[in-house]
Amino acid sequence: MPLVSTADLLHAAAARRTGIGAFNVIHLETAEALVAAAEDARLPVILQISQNCVSYHGGLEPIARATLAVAAGSQANVAVHLDHAEDEQLTRQAIDLGFGSVMYDGAKLDYERNVEATIRVVEYAHANDVLVEAELGEIGGKDGAHAPGVRTDPGEARRFVDETGVDALAVAVGSSHAMTERTATLDLDLIERLHAAVPVPLVLHGSSGASDETIVSAIRSGITKVNVSTHLNGFFTDAVRRFLSANPEVVDSRKYLREGRSAVAAEAARLLTLFAVTESATPGRAHT
């Protein structure tokens, strides 16, 4: 079916006070796995291509066109999003290619320069009916300003949204990028205060470091978009390692990449179901 608007998916989830999974594409196999997960769970998904992924592939267009084609060929509701773009021109390229949303990451800039750059991205995106996510301060884990103890201020967050016109905001509430253990402690009280202060959906980056129960609590406190990458990468890599260990003679990469793809599809479907919890639902089983 045709691509779905990221804005429609976010606003629908926010209205239900549920979460929606936004999972990173690393290569074609992960795009295929994530779409299969959405079809299996019968739930929407947001496929994300980061600036780091673009650098790995040597440019946006090849991986973008492949991901857009996989998304458009799915029976699920799938949106495609540019994640953590520090390059304004890259956001324009993604918009021109047909992405439903872009994240401009000006968090390394001082506040005023971040606002100015974000406004330029918003103006171009909104002229093309594309949603913009932004980040106020960096999420930790990549030598960022959101190191342990640093948090998003609700008043500053409201001011930033009002001044820039962004449509979603990534907030620092205790998570950290690239965590391989699910031990992060999130500030649920702060999430509630941010939800009350900010008139757009809130985004949790670094969700790989949070347990199932913690993420469910964060959703109930006001998080809408839940970004996951490292956690799913671990499933892919573990499955490939197991297959190669059991089948050392195999040289056809399709055979072991298929195993990784299947593992990601199964876990991504589980996470999509978990994030779609309602207030009365019981959190799903934690994966260890």
Indicate whether 1 belongs to any domain.
no
Q: Is 137 helix (H, G, I), strand (E, B) or coil?
A: coil
CATH of the domain at 126: 3.20.20.70
pLDDT tens, residue by residue, 230-283: 999 999 999 999 999 999 999 999 999 999 999 999 999 999 999 997 554 444
Indicate whether 222 belongs to any domain.
yes
pLDDT of residue 282: 43
pTM of the predicted protein model: 0.90
Indicate whether 50 belongs to any domain.
yes
For residue 183 the two structure tokens come to 């031990």
Question: Which are the catalytic amino acids?
Answer: 83
Indicate whether 264 belongs to any domain.
yes
Domains in the chain: how many in total? 1
CA distance 53 to 64: 10
| In contact, 132 and 121? CB cutoff 8 Å | yes
pLDDT of residue 287: 36
Range of the domain at 191: 6-275
Please name which of 191, 159, 157 lies closest in space to residue 174, comparing C-alpha atoms. Answer: 191
Indicate whether 176 belongs to any domain.
yes
CA angle 193, 132, 51 (to 5 degrees): 110
Indicate whether 288 belongs to any domain.
no
CA angle 215, 220, 221 (to 5 degrees): 95
Indicate whether 287 belongs to any domain.
no
CA distance 89 to 92: 5
CA distance 199 to 202: 9
| DSSP labels, 184-224 | ----HHHHHHHHHH-SS-EEE--GGGS-HHHHHHHHHHTEE
Which whole number is the average pLDDT over 37-57?
97
Burial of 82 per CB tally in 10 Å (0-12, 13-18, 19+) = buried
Indicate whether 187 belongs to any domain.
yes
| In contact, 150 and 171? CB cutoff 8 Å | no
pLDDT tens, residue by residue, 98-149: 999 999 998 888 889 999 999 999 999 999 999 999 987 544 444 443 455 6
Phi-psi sector, 230: left (phi>0), alpha (psi -120 to 50), beta: alpha
Which whole number is the average pLDDT over 49-61?
97
Task: Count H helices and E strands in the chain, helices first.
Answer: 11, 8
Most confident of 145-159, 207-221, 258-272: 258-272
| In contact, 86 and 108? CB cutoff 8 Å | yes
pLDDT of residue 182: 53
| In contact, 172 and 133? CB cutoff 8 Å | no
For residue 128 the two structure tokens come to 């093309």
